[in-house]
Chains A and B, each alone.
Chain A
Amino acid sequence: MAQKILIVDDEAHIRMLIEQTLEELEDEDVEFLTADNGETALELIRNELPNLVFLDVMMPKMNGMEVCRRVKKELGLDHVFIIILTAKGQELDRQKGQEVGANLYMTKPFDPEVILNKAREVLGL
């Protein structure tokens, strides 16, 4: 079965950037899903069970921290690898990220190479 990556960010250009960064994974049968708010993201995670989620923090409807908390603490979806992506300078979020069970914490602007390598590592590609 194809592996899935969910990209969650309310900013379209960030979604596009991440997708573009990871585009070569498409050739390895990886499917991309996107969401522009927390609620949709939670819905997609529940239904599609993506292997990896890039999750923005500041979003309308439901913020990334809450999405992560529900996925990890309420739904108990431990196998969904969640990378919290937050703006540089808001390093305080790091601790919060750990509290809600995020697997990894990265900052924007991100280094595309780092993102791609991490995705490959998580998906075992």
Chain B
Amino acid sequence: MARLRLKNILDKKNDNAALIISFIEQLKANIYVEDEHGKVLLGNANGANNFETPIKLEEEIIGWVKGDDKTSVIGSLLDLLIQKEYERKKLGNEVLTLYQEVNLIFNFSEKLAETIDPFSIAAITLDEGRHLIKFDSGIIVLWDNHAKQLQILALSGEVLFNQEKLNAHVNLLHDISLSGQSEIMGDMSALKEAGIIIPEVQSLIYAALKVKHRVMGAIILASNEAIQYSAADLKFLVTLALQSSSAIESALLYEKNIKEAKEKEEAMRRIFEITNKFVPYEFIGSLGRNAITDVRLGDQIEKIVTVLFSDIRDYTTLAEQMTPEENFRFISSFNEMIGPIIRGHKGFINQYLGDAIMAVFPDNAADALAAAVQMQLAVEEFNQKRISKNLSPIQIGIGMHTGPLIMGITGDSERLDATTIADSVNTASRLESLTKYYKASIIFSESTLQQMLYPETFHIRYLGMVQLKGKHLPVSIYECFNGNSLTEIEKKKNTLQHFNEAMLHYHNKSFASASEGFQYVLEINPHDHTAKFFLDNTIRFINSGVPENWSGVEEMSRK
């Protein structure tokens, strides 16, 4: 508070000066007023100064009334006015201090509202505290009751605290602030002996950080000057601590919630990832759903797709030589090899059935055929490794058929399964079993060829018609030999025309010509087992005659 001067009262454009002047006039007093330095503030110093009265404020002379015998009256009046002004100023000053406090708490709350980080909150608390409380170093500690450890949230100013010693002598803090107390500390010897504060510290004030009745930590302010901390300082510090602790509590809760939410999100993501592996997204997507959580019992869609069926030939024989565990490992490594090929050609695996795989290609039959070819090549490579380990090579047969397929969610309210229901699946499976019979590695139906874009990019042979079990109409089937070895492909290409002609003769029951054709093919390519299959049939028909109702369609009584 600035010092009050006589000048302020008499100079001011307030009513004091006017009142004094009118008083002097009415009393017909011959006086003047001067300040403590002799400067005349009111009236004229005209020599008549027989009397003088000092004007005092708080026992201090701040001016004089000089002149005739009326000086004492005017002096008393001035004393009164000064006293009144002084009281006013003092009150104003107190109000201003309170106002500053309110403003500070207001700003503090505003800043707290903007942060959700406990460290920032602690730093802001020390920063704001500095506006009203004098200190050289401040520290805010948090007591982790779980880990039985102190965490330092903020440290500011000079190095008056020793962080390591704080944690080493937590018991001392438990005696003071962590017990929930707040005080101006008189005896700091224990803290100094423990090395928590340096010996130069002369003043210390602290407040507990509390939420409800739980003590979370403490805010401690220290100074290396002898400061007489007042009750007002302590009250202010406690207010700061209260605000700060609830903000820190919220921030910690927020952190915890965020962490938990992230963990849940991560768990959800993993579940989603894994369910996607069990039921491919393509399947879910085809049903018009975004996620597996959206599917409902009875969801279904019918689509024209190409179904690919692959099976390891003579797997039972192969399996007999392995332990169940070896078996499982073998199938797993085989599936690991095939899966990416299917997906790489816009297909998805609908089901693993032991050594068999059922895949669906929703876009185009050409995708399925390209995948089938690559699968055969992959098996070839797989076999190289097996041979190098003295293991017998494996063979797979692939059958494909294009037709309507219903994909849907079936089961009951407690147990759901993604399933495909279609005749196409049976047909593809039957065509796969024909591969063994016809000695062809990939066989597909007429409908697959019909849908196929750019069939000319594949090497394809017509294999006649076949009557599948349980079917009314015979099906035309084709072989693709892109998956054969390069020399095999070359030979099949070179004999393709003869093979096709022989097939035509065969169909027309011109078995002699057919036989010639197949023999020619076999002379050039003795490994063409398909040609051998038809040659054997031809010879059988020549020798034993053709059944009466034979229409060129092979009857497939076996699956």
Q: Is A60 an interface residue (CB 8 A)?
A: no
Instruction: Out of A16, A27, A33, name the residue touching B95 (CB < 8 Å).
Output: A16
Asked whether, in the complex, the Cβ of A20 is within 8 Å of the Cβ of B89, the reply is: yes
Q: Bound complex: CA of A20 vs CA of B93, how far in Å?
A: 6
Nearest A residue to B99 via CB reads A17
Contacts of A19 in B (CB 8 A): 92
Count of chain B residues near A, Cβ 8 A: 16
Asked whether, in the complex, the Cβ of B13 is within 8 Å of the Cβ of A31, the reply is: yes
Asked whether, in the complex, the Cβ of B8 is within 8 Å of the Cβ of A112, the reply is: no
Q: Bound complex: CA of A109 vs CA of B103, how far in Å?
A: 6
Q: Is B107 an interface residue (CB 8 A)?
A: yes
Q: Is B102 an interface residue (CB 8 A)?
A: yes
Q: Is B51 an interface residue (CB 8 A)?
A: no
Contacts of A109 in B (CB 8 A): 99, 102-103, 106
Number of A-B contacts (CB under 8 A): 36
Q: Is A111 an interface residue (CB 8 A)?
A: yes
Contact with B along A28-49 (1 / 0, CB 8 A): 0001010000000000000000
Asked whether, in the complex, the Cβ of B103 is within 8 Å of the Cβ of A24, the reply is: no
Which residues of chain B in 96-114 are interfacial with respect to chain A, using CB atoms and an 8 Å cutoff? 96, 99-100, 102-103, 106-107
Contact with A along B108-140 (1 / 0, CB 8 A): 000000000000000000000000000000000
Q: Bound complex: CA of A23 vs CA of B89, how far in Å?
A: 9
Q: Given A23-B2, A31-B13, answer yes or no on A16-B92 (Cβ-Cβ < 8 Å).
A: yes
Q: Bound complex: CA of A13 vs CA of B88, how far in Å?
A: 11
Asked whether, in the complex, the Cβ of B92 is within 8 Å of the Cβ of A24, the reply is: no
Q: Is A21 an interface residue (CB 8 A)?
A: yes
Asked whether, in the complex, the Cβ of B95 is within 8 Å of the Cβ of A13, the reply is: yes
Contacts of A91 in B (CB 8 A): none
Q: Is A26 an interface residue (CB 8 A)?
A: yes
Contacts of A110 in B (CB 8 A): 103
Nearest A residue to B91 via CB reads A16
Contacts of B1 in A (CB 8 A): 23
14 A–B contacts from the bound complex (CB under 8 Å):
A16-B92, A16-B95, A17-B99, A19-B92, A20-B89, A20-B95, A20-B96, A23-B1, A23-B2, A26-B8, A33-B13, A110-B103, A111-B107, A112-B99
Contacts of B100 in A (CB 8 A): 112
- New A-B pairs, 14, CB < 8 Å, besides A23-B1, A23-B89, A26-B2: A13-B95, A17-B95, A17-B96, A17-B99, A20-B89, A20-B93, A20-B96, A24-B2, A26-B8, A31-B13, A33-B13, A109-B106, A112-B100, A112-B103
Count of chain A residues near B, Cβ 8 A: 16
Which residues of chain B in 71-102 are interfacial with respect to chain A, using CB atoms and an 8 Å cutoff? 89, 92-93, 95-96, 99-100, 102
Q: Bound complex: CA of A26 vs CA of B95, how far in Å?
A: 19
Q: Which of A21, A24, A109 has the most CB of B within 10 A?
A: A109
Asked whether, in the complex, the Cβ of B96 is within 8 Å of the Cβ of A112, the reply is: yes
Q: How far is the CB of A70 from chain B (nearest CB, A)?
A: 23
Contact with B along A104-125 (1 / 0, CB 8 A): 0000011110000000000000
Nearest A residue to B98 via CB reads A17
Q: Given A26-B2, A27-B2, answer yes or no on A21-B96 (Cβ-Cβ < 8 Å).
A: yes
Q: How far is the CB of A13 from chain B (nearest CB, A)?
A: 7
* Top 7 A-B pairs, shortest CB-CB distance: A20-B92, A20-B96, A109-B103, A16-B92, A23-B2, A24-B2, A109-B106
Nearest B residue to A18 via CB reads B96
Q: Bound complex: CA of A112 vs CA of B95, how far in Å?
A: 12
Contacts of A112 in B (CB 8 A): 96, 99-100, 103
Q: Given A16-B95, A19-B92, A23-B89, answer yes or no on A111-B2 (Cβ-Cβ < 8 Å).
A: no
Q: Bound complex: CA of A19 vs CA of B89, how far in Å?
A: 10
Q: Bound complex: CA of A118 vs CA of B92, how far in Å?
A: 20
Q: Bound complex: CA of A23 vs CA of B96, how far in Å?
A: 11
Contacts of B106 in A (CB 8 A): 109
Contacts of A27 in B (CB 8 A): 2
Nearest B residue to A88 via CB reads B106
Q: Bound complex: CA of A110 vs CA of B1, how far in Å?
A: 19
Contacts of A20 in B (CB 8 A): 89, 92-93, 95-96
Q: Bound complex: CA of A19 vs CA of B92, how far in Å?
A: 9
Nearest B residue to A25 via CB reads B2
Q: Bound complex: CA of A112 vs CA of B103, how far in Å?
A: 9
Contact with A along B153-194 (1 / 0, CB 8 A): 000000000000000000000000000000000000000000
Contacts of A31 in B (CB 8 A): 12-13
Contacts of A16 in B (CB 8 A): 92, 95
Q: Which of A24, A26, A110 has the most CB of B within 10 A?
A: A26
Q: How far is the CB of B46 from chain A (nearest CB, A)?
A: 27
Asked whether, in the complex, the Cβ of A111 is within 8 Å of the Cβ of B95, the reply is: no
Q: How far is the CB of B277 from chain A (nearest CB, A)?
A: 55
Which residues of chain B in 1-59 are interfacial with respect to chain A, using CB atoms and an 8 Å cutoff? 1-2, 8, 12-13
Q: Bound complex: CA of A111 vs CA of B95, how far in Å?
A: 14
Nearest B residue to A108 via CB reads B103
Nearest A residue to B92 via CB reads A20
Q: How far is the CB of B515 from chain A (nearest CB, A)?
A: 100
Q: How far is the CB of B397 from chain A (nearest CB, A)?
A: 78
Q: Bound complex: CA of A13 vs CA of B96, how far in Å?
A: 10
Asked whether, in the complex, the Cβ of A111 is within 8 Å of the Cβ of B103, the reply is: yes
Q: Bound complex: CA of A109 vs CA of B107, how far in Å?
A: 9
Q: Bound complex: CA of A112 vs CA of B89, how far in Å?
A: 16
Q: How far is the CB of B23 from chain A (nearest CB, A)?
A: 24
Q: Bound complex: CA of A111 vs CA of B13, how far in Å?
A: 28
Q: How far is the CB of A51 from chain B (nearest CB, A)?
A: 16
Q: How far is the CB of B57 from chain A (nearest CB, A)?
A: 16
Q: Bound complex: CA of A16 vs CA of B99, how far in Å?
A: 11
Q: Bound complex: CA of A109 vs CA of B100, how far in Å?
A: 9
